[in-house]
Structure 1
């Protein structure tokens, strides 16, 4: 299996990856094809696909913020069972992020991720692909060491329509697995920067960020 970076919407592998995203994710979670042009050309956004026998069977997007020394996993797609795609993507992503942090003389502090909570929202079937089942994904991410950041979370819809998307938790994978809380100002800085690309912010998101701004630290809970 190959781990190949995509840096242009003209790359034929990108079209295959975008189709896979549309098959797996709900519409409000998928950025339109043409709007990927600038993100893919951004050196700070890293999009890789898992290619098996010439076919895109998985993908992951993530980014590293050198000044914050944290990463964000935007998404991970496992398109076929029985190939060890999830482990392959997680291993290759971690190696890449460790190298990026080391290049800045640091050890990675941790990695954010949004995780569906199927106990609150049960209608995400993810294209019928069993490894993408929200219950499975949540347990896998728990095994990897992710913890739920304990506050009510919403995010702006990627359709940029000003709607608030709920049914997810913002989680964090600390390099120190004994860490039990996270700096609130780090969360605010990260969220403000991450969603700067979406000008239409729902009021619920604005109020959430304001509440976080008044806090010191936020507990990390098991998922």
Structure 2
């Protein structure tokens, strides 16, 4: 049986195995340093949950909901062990919680963002040797869920605070209206500006991308 447990402090006994799992799955530039998690975990708007199988951390997800923009963001979803139903458990638990957050804020969600690895650019990453985390597998699963990619040369600042441009991901969006084939460019710019406000060092490529978005009306949503 899996348990959905929220982590709100780096002093939580389950945070250390979570951070180790992050480090085994993702490349260094995608993982915030251990001590730098202390402040974000205190933010009520950042939801970090682990899937526990007994006392073992076998998966995790982080997400947030922006009532003013009516969009959610999935920061990450990790499956640490196969054949336990971790992925579906995390997806369903997260969806129920996001529905609760939307209801409490009196808003109707437009959809959910996610950064999605392009397997042709991320193929060098072993992703912890866990087959469900393989970028080819993940991309196909997200496509089946209904995620689409923004028609955008996407770049984001590295989470190691070095200000490097990370370019091997697409920005994906899961629209509430599955027939949607575009998204408001101003909404994307506002979301990204707020989401990355915690990182002081922004690469020039990211600033250029934001400028381009602010000059556009809409961004096409393409199949993954």
What is the aligned partner in structure 1 of residue 97 from structure 2?
A: 96
Task: Look up the match of 2:39.
Answer: 38
Deviation at 1:105, TM superposition (A): 1.8
- Figure out how many residues of one structure are paired with residues of the other and give that number: 223
Structure-2 residue corresponding to 1:134: 135
1:196 corresponds to 2:183: no
SS of equivalent residue, structure 1 residue 169: strand
Number of the residue aligned with 1:164: 165
CA contact (8 A) 1:164 1:205 kept: yes
1:25 maps to 2:26: yes
Mapped contact 1:97–1:108 kept (Cα < 8 A): no
Q: Output the CA distance in 1 between the equivalents of 2:28 and 2:121.
A: 19
Q: Matched residues in 2 for 1:108 and 1:188: separation? A: 17
Q: Which residue is 1:182 aligned to? A: 183
1:2 and 2:3 matched: yes
Aligned twin of 2:16: 15
- For normalisation by structure 2, the TM-score amounts to 0.98
Shift of 1:102: 1.0
In the TM superposition, residue 106 of structure 1 has moved relative to its aligned partner by 2.1
CA distance in 2, matches of 1:100, 1:178: 24
The CA deviation at 1:108 is: 1.6
Moved over 4 A (4+): none
**Higher mean displacement: 52-61 or 113-122:** 113-122
Give the distance between the partners of 1:31 and 1:95, measured in 2 at CA.
Answer: 27
User: What TM-score comes out, normalization by structure 1 length?
Assistant: 0.99
Q: Does the 8 Å contact 1:69/1:110 carry over to 2?
A: yes
- Kindly state the Cα deviation for residue 103 of structure 1 after the two structures are TM-superposed: 1.1
